[in-house]
Amino acid sequence: MTLPQSRLLFLMIFLGSALLLFTAIFIEPFTSMNPCPMCMMQRVFFVGLGMLALIAALHNPGYFGQKVYALLIAVFAVSGGSIAVRQLWLQSLPEAQVPACGPGMDYMLEVFPLLEVIEMAIRGTGDCAKVQWTYWGVSIPGWSLLAFSAFAIIALIILFRKRSAQM
């Protein structure tokens, strides 16, 4: 089986992340769902890996450059996926064990230093434990985890390809 060129795979990652971000931003006003801090952090990782993939597709680097871009995209995908896993864990907790709801992301960014905001967002709040929407029984962080996993797999395919498969 012949896989597409790396440039096309990078473009697929970019388009996938752009579609996910567009969908999230588009459905917010129609569903009255406000993203929790963990959802916002996952979006940051989708933006990051999507931008890296777009740059890689436009740059069309050589063999070594493809490996660097693929490694960075994989790191972003695994990091975003780990936040999705944490949120899924929060959603699985009994109500008595769910952490208290915290302030909104806008307030946290105004009041706290950036590193503290990132730490609080990764830790999650009671808002992050609410299942606001499901499709086929899978919540939003579950779908995010699937997307991050797919992006990581594509990046790993590029990363571990042999030189002859790159042409």
CATH code for position 125: 1.20.1550.10
Q: What is the pTM of this model?
A: 0.76
Distances in Å between the Cα of 135 and the Cα atoms of 78, 140, 160, 162 are 23, 8, 33, 38
Domain count across the chain: 1
Segment 127-150 shows an average pLDDT of 78
pLDDT digits (tens, 9 = 90+) for 6-60: 888 999 999 999 998 888 888 777 776 777 778 888 888 999 999 999 999 888 8
pLDDT for the residue 128: 63
- Determine, yes or no, domain membership for 66: yes
- Determine, yes or no, domain membership for 29: yes
- Determine, yes or no, domain membership for 1: no
- Determine, yes or no, domain membership for 167: no
pLDDT digits (tens, 9 = 90+) for 68-86: 999 999 999 999 999 888 8
> Is 85 or 99 the better-scoring residue by pLDDT?
85
Residue with tokens 């588009």: 26
Angle between helices 63-92 and 140-160 in degrees, nearest 10: 160
Q: Which domain holds residue 150?
A: 6-161
- Determine, yes or no, domain membership for 166: no
- Determine, yes or no, domain membership for 42: yes
Segment 121-126 shows an average pLDDT of 62
